[in-house]
Amino acid sequence: MKWNADLYDQKHAFVFKFGEDVVDLLDVKPGEHVLDIGCGTGHLTKQIQDKGAIVKGTDYSPDMIAQAKALFPDVDFAVENAADFYTEQKYDAVFSNAALHWVLDANGAIKNVYDALKHGGRFVAEMGGKGNVEKLTQAVRLVLVNHGYVNQADVKVWFFPSTAEYAKLLEDHGFRVTFTSHFDRKTPLQDGDEGVAKWIRMFGAQFLQDIPEDEKEQILKEITHKLEPYYNEGGQWYADYKRLRFVAVKE
């Protein structure tokens, strides 16, 4: 999937703004080595560095990393795959915000994080949890099937686990889970009734692969229409986000 880093920063800044709470949960101490996985355009990586950490930000998207380097040239960034990386440097903490649900190989990611941490190091993250954008996903799949795009409707874009499901994965890899929370957080969409289409083009583009542009427009309008009773609150549209947040310690 190719990311539009400019659009991400301009229209979807809620991704890193909501993540500021997770930075607080990280509770950075000056001099700590911190790895930020799925750092996007680097805004939270920079905040972590400003708290005194020696930080490295990684992301699978070259476009995101290019933007991060341009915005924050004094921060260390690199293109890396969360499910397949190795680091000689051992970290006091690994941080991730709004990224792990993109990593379908959750076992690979958790193993790599465990290996990257010092003993006693912590893994602090927030991701989409069970039920995240469920109404949106249902509407997308229904409309795609109605248009004959069965393969696109079956695409697995994200992994949204329950607390028990992800805690078991963490424990299976040697972590002790010290905190977890699964909560609703309805998330405002910009640009009114255009917000759903823009969200899908940004975050769910895989659903629209190989569909002609004119038909894409029609499909997005139909999805928006189906979601309006649930998403439109007096002209402000909200997506049905459910987040999973956790702290796990390498023992």
For the chain, give the mean pLDDT: 93
State the pLDDT at residue 9. 47
State the pLDDT at residue 8. 45
How far is C-alpha 125 from the geometric centre of its chain's CA atoms?
10
State the pLDDT at residue 20. 76
DSSP per-residue string spanning 32-98:
-EEEEET-TTSHHHHHHHHTT-EEEEEES-HHHHHHHHHH-TTSEEEE-BTTB---SS-EEEEEEES
State the pLDDT at residue 12. 43
Domain boundaries defined on the chain: 5-250
Strand order in the sheet with 232-233: 187-189, 236-239, 232-233
The dotted CATH code for 5-250 is 3.40.50.150
Question: pTM for the full model?
Answer: 0.91
Report the distance separating Cα 24 and Cα 29, nearest Å. 11
